[in-house]
Amino acid sequence: MNLQNILESISHVDPEFNERISPRRQAIRNMFNVGQKVTMAALPLAVSALFNKAYGQSAPTDVIGVLNYALTLEFLEAEYYTLGAQQSGLVPSGKPLQAIETIRDHEVAHVKFLQGVLQDKAVSKPTFDFTAGGAFADVFSNYDTFLALAQAFEDTGVRAYKGQAGLLKGNQIVLTAALQIHSVEARHAAHIRSMRTARGGAASGQKPWITGANDSGIGAAVDPVYAGEDNKIQAGADITTLDGVSGKVSTNIATQSFDEPLTAPAVLDIAKLFIKA
């Protein structure tokens, strides 16, 4: 990725960016006119300096860590769907396979984007064990297990991005990109849940939203994914004491109506279950 592409990408996210760097536009143009190149190693520094000029602030010192944290999750999801789509006969042909391949392509795009932003500061792709040491031994031979674990990964991703939003609030560009990915992960989670519902059987009661803690039907192995989702207190108010359409808001509605964030340590503990090295 060269500097020109990055500037164009930023402009799509922040239409006012060009105006913010207007006094420096000629200097940037001159860089390209003389064929001057920015090396991969220097690129993050160049972009950081440009952000400082454009926004009058330094990027938070933990942004690199947060982005690598996100990249690790995206590596996991991209690898999972890639392997799942490759297993002959695992995912039914037609709309189910098309959905899995589309989600795979989204996750791969997220990986490429984060790697492009991080450049030489990006972490390496881990080696994954999606059986989690045997807890999900049939994950790539049993479609129901595959979908169940996909749901756990997507639900984790949604909560993970939510948990880091506050740390990125000082960097408008990175925060905007993270929120854009977050909303797509939420769409993935809802669609995977709907796919499980369509399967019927033990998963027939699945909804696009989370009800209470660990409504996945997968078992205690994914309890950490849903820890805290049974919270019914928001901003100090017990939601179940508020008036609903008919009577007080139920506990189920109270937990469904608000999604909870996950801390980075909690998310990484979940990811470690599936990381070999």
Residue holding tokens 């639900």?
Answer: 155
pLDDT of residue 167: 79
CATH number of 63-225+262-272: 1.20.1260
Domain with CATH 1.20.1260 in the chain: 63-225+262-272
DSSP string, 1-50: --HHHHHHHHHHH-TTHHHHTGGGHHHHHHHHHTT----TTTHHHHHHHH
- Global pTM exceeds 0.85: no
pLDDT, residue 114, reads: 93
pLDDT at residue 77 above 50? yes
Token duo for residue 180: 């854009």
Q: What's the average model confidence in pLDDT over 238-263?
A: 92
- Mean pLDDT, the chain, integer: 81
**pLDDT value at position 12?**
52
Q: Which residues contact 75 (CB under 8 A, 6 or more apart)?
A: 111, 125, 126, 128
User: What CA–CA distance (Å, rounded) separates 145 from 221?
Assistant: 13
Give the model's confidence band at 220: pLDDT under 50 very low, under 70 low, under 90 confident, else very high: confident
* Residue 15 identity (one-letter amino acid): P
**Count of other CB atoms within 10 angstroms of residue 116:** 14
**pLDDT tens digit sequence for 110-159:** 999 999 989 999 999 999 999 999 989 999 999 999 999 999 999 999 99
Does pLDDT of 42 surpass 70? no
Q: Is the pLDDT reported for residue 199 higher than 50? A: yes
Quick check: helix, strand or coil at residue 259?
Answer: coil
For residue 27, the model assigns a pLDDT of: 40
The token pair that represents 48 in the structure block:
């950081």
Report, as an integer, the average pLDDT of 155-181.
Answer: 86
Quick one: pLDDT at residue 170? 76
> Across 15-19, 131-135, 219-223, which has the greatest mean pLDDT?
131-135
What mean pLDDT comes out for the span 23-30? 43
Share of the chain above pLDDT 70, in %: 77
What is the rounded end-to-end Cα distance, in angstroms, of the chain?
28
Asked if pLDDT for residue 176 goes beyond 90, the answer is no
Give residue-wise pLDDT tens across range 243-253. 998 899 999 99
